[in-house]
Amino acid sequence: MKLQKIVSRLQELHPKEIDLSLDRIQNLCKNLGNPQDKIKAISIVGTNGKYSTIQAMFSILKEANFKCNIFTSPHIKSINERFVFNNKELNDGELASLLEEIENANNNEPITFFEILTAAFFLKASQYPDNINLIESGLFFRFDATNILKNNLASVVTSIGLDHLDWLPENEQTIEKIIFEKTSSLLNSNIIVAKQSNNKITDNIKKTISNNRSNKIFHNEIYSFTMQENDFFYYEDQFGGIKLPMPNLKGQFQLENVSTAIATLRTLKDLNIKDDHIKKGVLKISSIARLQEIKSGKLKKLLKHNQLFVDGSHNPLGAKVLNEYLESLDCEKHIILGMMANKDHKEYMSFFKDIATLTTIDIPNQPNSIKGKELKDKLNRFSNINYKESIEEAIKSIPVKENDIILITGSLYLAGEVLNLN
């Protein structure tokens, strides 16, 4: 209860949820003694794959006996997920005390909630100067609260695509502008660039960071991976090749994230990551709401004999890779869909080519989501489309046959509601 009260107070310190600038976070961190200058960080920017890449690095680093601090956003089930220190999430009491300290230092000055959380992470992280910090950027990066580090170990650029366009002026809602926002202010250290959806994006990233003096590692130039038979894949970079077991993540696109994680850690030679650390680490990656199979719980009981998945994909690039996984399955696929109002709903669903049924729903507790009935009307090109008010009603209504699967997708907020309900 104390944590909830503090969170509510902090959310009222600024009239906007997001206000892209750095002055407020810089002033607050100055009051705190600039804790961000006392940590060893790997920064992760991009549109998709940030969370999975972080979790892959985390798993490998743990095998190498490193302690990590992790800052991610948004959270799925609880705000505590955003705060990992010494390999463990903060509990409610610890997080409440940390946020209270930040609240006092801020002295009621206008500041966004994300900026408060970022300052809180930096302060706590500075108490563990030997830990590796894995820091995910928020909306973009150039004016993101996480972008006040003066030095880092590396910057990771995951796949970049169109998302959050409503935060850009209409005449600047382009992939080029997004690439500029995410990569033009990367620090001079190491830059590892993941596989992109096309060569144009890769070339644009190269152009944007051309004057950056970093050591630059690009997928398919310095590192690569290939699928092998018998549940193995082969990773290769300038240090040699490794035959690796398939990671415990579904979807070939996850190999891109895992390979980027490996490339990053092998580039940082002082970490001394061994092949054995990687082989063991890729089998223990934790990934919430990223093609996550629900194997037990309240919702699974409604679907005892079929697989139930939840995935937080919410933009066209996410839909593309998600559909590629679905197309690899020899079964009927049923989608339950809920989305935020500011997303391109038609573009998102345009990637799904072979869907048995589509059921739209309302996302509980999200006033900024699109109503399920309105979403159904927008997606009327699907012949077998229905609307149900709740997640449970939607699952019960789908006429599944043997081997059919149900996938709940369209929003990380929906994924959180699903997992909490389950």
Domain ranges, ordered by start, for the chain: 2-281, 292-421
In the prediction, which pLDDT does 166 show?
Answer: 66
Six-digit token pair at 298?
A: 């309240």
What architecture is domain 292-421?
Alpha-Beta Complex (3.90)
pLDDT at 252: 82
Bridge-based pairing of strands 232-237 and 240-245 is antiparallel
Are the C-beta atoms of 155 and 53 separated by less than 8 Å?
no
Three-class DSSP labels, the chain: CHHHHHHHHHCCCCCCCCCCCCHHHHHHHHHCCCHHHHCEEEEEECCECHHHHHHHHHHHHHHCCCCEEEECCCCCCCHHHHCEECCEECCHHHHHHHHHHHHHHHCCCCCCHHHHHHHHHHHHHCCCCCCEEEEECCCCCCCCCCCCCCCCCEEEECECCCCCHHHCCHHHCCHHHHHHHHHCCCCCCEEEECCCCCHHHHHHHHHHCCCCCCEEEEECCCEEEEEECCCEEEEEECCEEEEEECCCCCCCHHHHHHHHHHHHHHHCHHHCCCHHHHHHHCCCCCCCCCCEECCCCCCHHHHCCCEEEECCCCCHHHHHHHHHHHHCCCCCEEEEECCECCCCHHHHHCCCCCCCEEEECCCCCCCCECCHHHHHHHCCCCCCEEECCCHHHHHHHCCCCCCCEEEEECCHHHHHHHHHHC
What is the structure's pLDDT at 164?
A: 66
- Which CATH architecture is the domain 2-281 placed in? 3-Layer(aba) Sandwich (3.40)
Question: Of 26, 270, 23, 49, which Cα lies nearest the Cα of 154?
Answer: 270
What is the pLDDT tens value at each position of the chain, 422 positions in all? 799 999 999 999 887 777 778 999 999 999 999 999 999 999 999 999 999 999 999 999 999 999 999 999 999 999 999 999 999 999 999 999 999 999 999 999 999 999 999 999 999 999 999 999 999 997 778 899 999 999 999 999 999 987 666 666 777 788 898 999 999 999 999 999 999 999 999 999 999 999 999 999 999 999 999 988 778 999 999 999 999 999 999 888 899 999 999 999 999 999 999 999 999 999 999 989 999 999 999 999 999 999 999 999 998 989 999 999 999 999 999 999 999 999 999 999 999 988 999 999 999 989 999 999 999 999 999 999 999 999 999 999 999 999 999 999 999 999 999 999 99
